[in-house]
Structure 1
Amino acid sequence: MGDTATQYSREAMQQALQTREQYDIHGLRFDISTSTLRTGAEPLLDDIATALKNFPEWGLRIVGHTDSSGNPETNESLSLARAETIKAGLVERGVDASRLLAGGAGQNKPIASNETGAGRAFNRRVELVRITDSAEAKKLLKAMTDYLAAQKALSFAYDANLQVVTNTDQKLGLASSGTVILSRPDKVHTTRTGGFVDTEALFDGKTLTLLGKNLNKYTQVEIPGTVDHLIDELKDKYGLPLPAADLLMTNAYDELMQGVYDSKDLGSGVINGTECDSLAFRKDDVDFQIWVAQGAQPYPCRVVITSSQVMGAPEYSVQIRDWKSGDAVMQGDFAFKNATNAEKIDVNDLKRNLSDLPENFMTGDKK
């Protein structure tokens, strides 16, 4: 096991999972290019199983990691297979399989240089992550998304903040505000105003119009269908997500929960004077937290999304106010009238001017 074995103890592992919720084990060795554990792994598996028996409230996510040798896709599959092998070994030792999740990160999360043999050996590891699977958090999120999907009409104003990290590790916030009016199944009207952007989007079930008010230019795209279809097309085809887009979809719960491995109910909080349930969720690439209004209208009061795999962990937050639904929603106007004689241009030409970021900002590296 080399020098890393001297750093391991069952007590250190338990303490790390209690305090940091994460622990890297380097002593679990596999045969080259296989998911077969080498002889000598049994004591470590025994220790992990014992820790889980000592703390029956714990769930555990087992993540395999490789060095950069070989094909990235093959490494990802191999790392998952190795995590599944460890999971099977723990189940054999009496751990309930429902408490265990297996994941494979492949070569994507090195903790040492892959330029040396010692660094590559250090990157070949198994990460244990203590997880919480809160049935109450998922229940409250489901209630919120069911409520939103049932609303034939809704509207709200929002204040958003995009936190960016400079190459000198300074965190800067870019603020914007806007409005959303939604009429299911196929109409939506949004506005967004910030220091570098002033836009309006209108969708009448057939045509999407994007207007850059500060440029007095607009573009139109034919996207017939529902608001759900529009959101998917904007995100996947044009790279232009609507504000709080996932929350507006009729299958919002499935969209939000895809890839979630940790969920927490953090109790109550207060947003704009409204008492809310505070819920937190984790995925491989993002953490997100949602505050849901308590009572008969469980609408989202605030959403915070943190990019955990980007250097500096930039954050995007949306705080919602002036929530209305049903008959309280003022009738929206979803037709574009071009009252300012705006110039019509190609969608790609306008898209470059719809970002919250000024031109001198560039996307940074991953961790």
Structure 2
Amino acid sequence: MLIIANGSVMAQTAEEQEKGYRLETMEQALQKKERFDLYGLHFDSDSATIEPESKTLLDDIATALKNFPDWRLRIVGHTDSTADPLHNLHLSVDRALAVRAALADRGVDLLRLTASGLGEDQPIASNATPEGRALNRRVELDRVTDSPEAKRMLKAMSDFLGAQKNLSFGFDSVFEVITPTAQKLGLASSGTATLSRPDKVRFARSGGFADYEILYDGKTLTFLGKNANLFTQVAAPGTVDQLIDTLQDKYNRHLPGADLLMTNSYDELMQDVYDSKDLGSGVISGVECDSLAFRKNEVDWQIWIAQGDRPYPCRFVITSKLESGDPQYTIQFADWKFGNDVAADDFSFKNASNAKQIALKDFQEKLGSLPENFKLGDAK
């Protein structure tokens, strides 16, 4: 029987894959760091209770981990789309945790195992048929890497940037969007940023379609649309860290590389990371860098960090794993300055162009961050 799975053809049903399972096949896939979907692992209906018939398969996973003591596994639960999405998400997490606990009972060190659930978000077949739903109900095994050296270098960058009271940089960025016809288009922009801890920042960005500036003096947040010569202001007392969250969550304005500018960027970046790799050296704009790669459920990201006693970021790339076509955001940094080398700035809004003040709501409607001929789809 042929199953249509997201545009491709799968030759086996879930039942056939279960019957064809072999321990050697699982080990070979994980040796190549390919994911392996388990179809012989059964749970009680709408429950995370593992049925007794799954004992042999759990024994096999434990055996594989004992055969390869350097392996680390990520256990991922998946469901079909029959129930409520939030319920499915919780069920998939609980099932992954149940498998992790069962492996621990078989002597596997918990430090070698991580568990997560994606609910119905990553189907491999259509949920419109019973056969497709059966394929989507699965537990996925991923062999992952945990590089202490990659984490150490990222922490060194975080500590260095977080310790700088004053810093500035220039940047070029490309945001890739996916059209309904699966064409990937890049939107390019350039800009500058100046930050003075704990509570001041000036950020300017020009992309042809958008030319705007954000200023923050610790009390007032100002948005200036240079092309339209309009501005708006809101009271926002707090720190730069709080401002970054406010801009993203409340105003849907994202400072390029914002996570890197947090006082403790390491914790922000490493949240939910399950895989880390040290890829060795690379060169960005003539600067020798350490190249590091990290994975989360929703995104993969890679960062190049300058070698030496000033470990600043040179390039940062984020790739979505939940959207068709894997859209990507890239920012390349240049002209980093620190301490007394940063140009003096009082971060206040002078309105030298006699810009017209408008309400925040009107500003949001008139000055978006994408060209007018682009329209964002539903959030995911």
TM-score range, shorter chain: over 0.9
Distance, in Å, in 2 between the alignment partners of 1:151 and 1:165 is: 37
Task: Give the SS at the match of 2:118.
Answer: strand
Q: Indicate the percent of aligned positions where both proteins have the same amino acid.
A: 61
Does the Cα contact within 8 Å between 1:194 and 1:356 map onto a contact in 2? Answer: no
Q: Which segment is superposed worse, 356-365 or 41-50?
A: 356-365
Distance, in Å, in 2 between the alignment partners of 1:238 and 1:4 is: 48
Does the Cα contact within 8 Å between 2:33 and 2:144 map onto a contact in 1? Answer: no
Distance, in Å, in 1 between the alignment partners of 2:170 and 2:15 is: 58
Q: Which residue of 1 aligns with 2:221?
A: 208
RMSD over aligned Cα, in angstroms?
A: 1.6
Does the Cα contact within 8 Å between 2:15 and 2:39 map onto a contact in 1? Answer: no
Q: Which residue of 2 aligns with 1:247?
A: 260
For 2:275, which of 247, 252, 262 is the aligned residue?
262
| Superposed displacement of residue 363, structure 1 | 2.4
Task: Give the SS at the match of 1:40.
Answer: helix
1:157-200 residue CA offsets vs partner (Å, 9 max, x unmatched): 00101111222222111111000011111111111011211111
1:135-172 residue CA offsets vs partner (Å, 9 max, x unmatched): 11111111101111100000000010111122222211
Q: Which runs of 4+ in 1 moved over 3 A?
A: 352-356, 364-367
Residues 151/366 of structure 1: CA separation in 2 closer, same or farther (3 Å cut): closer
Does the Cα contact within 8 Å between 1:301 and 1:320 map onto a contact in 2? Answer: yes
Q: Which segment is superposed worse, 163-172 or 310-319?
A: 163-172
For 2:336, which of 323, 338, 346 is the aligned residue?
323
Matched AA of 2:103: L
Task: Give the SS at the match of 1:189.
Answer: strand
Distance, in Å, in 1 between the alignment partners of 2:204 and 2:366 is: 15
1:296 aligns with 2:309: yes
Q: Which residue of 2 aligns with 1:350?
A: 363
1:62 aligns with 2:84: no
1:276-316 residue CA offsets vs partner (Å, 9 max, x unmatched): 11111111111111111111101111100111111111111
For 1:332, which of 322, 342, 345 is the aligned residue?
345
1:178 aligns with 2:191: yes
Distance, in Å, in 1 between the alignment partners of 2:86 and 2:18 is: 29
TM-score (ref. length: structure 1): 0.96
Does the Cα contact within 8 Å between 1:141 and 1:253 map onto a contact in 2? Answer: yes
Matched AA of 2:147: S
Does the Cα contact within 8 Å between 1:158 and 1:177 map onto a contact in 2? Answer: yes
Distance, in Å, in 2 between the alignment partners of 1:258 and 1:187 is: 26
Distance, in Å, in 2 between the alignment partners of 1:70 and 1:315 is: 31
Does the Cα contact within 8 Å between 1:310 and 1:364 map onto a contact in 2? Answer: no
How many pairs align? Answer: 367
1:25 aligns with 2:38: yes
Distance, in Å, in 1 between the alignment partners of 2:61 and 2:377 is: 37
Q: Which residue of 2 aligns with 1:11?
A: 24
TM-score (ref. length: structure 2): 0.92
Does the Cα contact within 8 Å between 1:311 and 1:365 map onto a contact in 2? Answer: no
Structure 2 regions of 5+ residues with no counterpart?
1-13
Does the Cα contact within 8 Å between 2:281 and 2:290 map onto a contact in 1? Answer: yes
1:84 aligns with 2:97: yes
Does the Cα contact within 8 Å between 2:195 and 2:202 map onto a contact in 1? Answer: yes
